[in-house]
Structure 1
């Protein structure tokens, strides 16, 4: 592989890896389920990879990726509209526009929350994350924690409040609130 191609591939991977969670969150807001978002993201990833050479400015990768995600999501929804009831194009356009507009705020909130989660002791962090893991019942997590279901819900509520307050403090300190 010529060095230029390798450099381009490495640049794509760095940019894609850095922006993929935000693009996935954007797609997730537009489609009904996580599985649907995974399907759309496969298409988005392929289009981004194939058309990366057309991107003029690597600094605009995120904006470009959101545009690709928007069109891929709309195409996927149009294809699925034959199968079941879905939102109209006007509503989808509005949601897509608002999601793009709110992305920097949501990204800052995600980063602040991740930082606050990292501050928790490992055992507490594991339990909080387990409570929100897909296909995991709260009864199972409560048993894992050694608490009754009611006691676990109370503990989880206290942890949510703690994380919300931490996130709020971080965003306030960064001048984002």
Structure 2
């Protein structure tokens, strides 16, 4: 039988891992560089873990994590506010509010795109994901597809158009467009 600490740790890790990319994207919109994002995310992760016991509804983890990320980013901006290359806190608050407002729409779009990707034949989906992987070598992906680089780009363009249309239809059917 697992002890409570192990269960808490596993629950936190599952929730954090599931939401980390969205939280990171949210923070990235508020701070100037990727390194700054990493610094803020370390603080966010620590605060989330330390205060995890205070979260009463696990279904509200994402919203709570965004709130923590907002305060951590604003604190980081306040602390680095002497740097003239950093936007003012007032401007950042506008960006944060707009980002929070758009997060539900962006999440729905991501979910719809994921569903559309799943509808692609497995070889096509693998090629699309390979083409968009970090540091993807397009010549290698084109070779893997059995196409020239130009032909692969044309094929990829057609697939992207299909994915856009599928995503639009999915959002319309769900009343989210």
Q: TM-score, normalised by structure 2?
A: 0.82
Compute the displacement of 1:10 (Å).
4.2
Could you say which residue in structure 2 is the equivalent of 1:55? 55
Q: Name the CA distance, whole Å, in 2 between partners of 1:85 and 1:140.
A: 39
> Is the alpha carbon distance of 1:146 and 1:59 closer, same or farther for their aligned partners in structure 2, counting shifts above 3 Å?
closer
Give the superposed CA RMSD.
2.7
Contact persistence 2:81–2:88 (CA under 8 A): no
Q: Find out whether 1:144 has 2:144 as its counterpart.
A: yes
Deviations 1:107-155 (A, max 9, x none): 0110110111111122211221122222224333323323222222211
> Is the alpha carbon distance of 1:37 and 1:129 closer, same or farther for their aligned partners in structure 2, counting shifts above 3 Å?
farther
Deviations 1:21-57 (A, max 9, x none): 3322322333345554344323211110011122344
Q: Name the CA distance, whole Å, in 2 between partners of 1:73 and 1:149.
A: 41
Could you say which residue in structure 2 is the equivalent of 1:127? 127
> Is the alpha carbon distance of 1:160 and 1:34 closer, same or farther for their aligned partners in structure 2, counting shifts above 3 Å?
farther
Compute the displacement of 1:14 (Å).
4.1
Q: Find out whether 1:30 has 2:30 as its counterpart.
A: yes
Compute the displacement of 1:74 (Å).
2.6
> Is the alpha carbon distance of 1:122 and 1:79 closer, same or farther for their aligned partners in structure 2, counting shifts above 3 Å?
farther
List aligned pairs for 1:62-77, cutoff 5 A: 62-77=62-77
> Is the alpha carbon distance of 1:127 and 1:27 closer, same or farther for their aligned partners in structure 2, counting shifts above 3 Å?
same
Contact persistence 2:77–2:89 (CA under 8 A): no
Q: How many residues align?
A: 177
Stretches of structure 1 lacking an aligned partner (at least 5 in a row): none
Q: TM-score, normalised by structure 1?
A: 0.82
Stretches of structure 2 lacking an aligned partner (at least 5 in a row): none
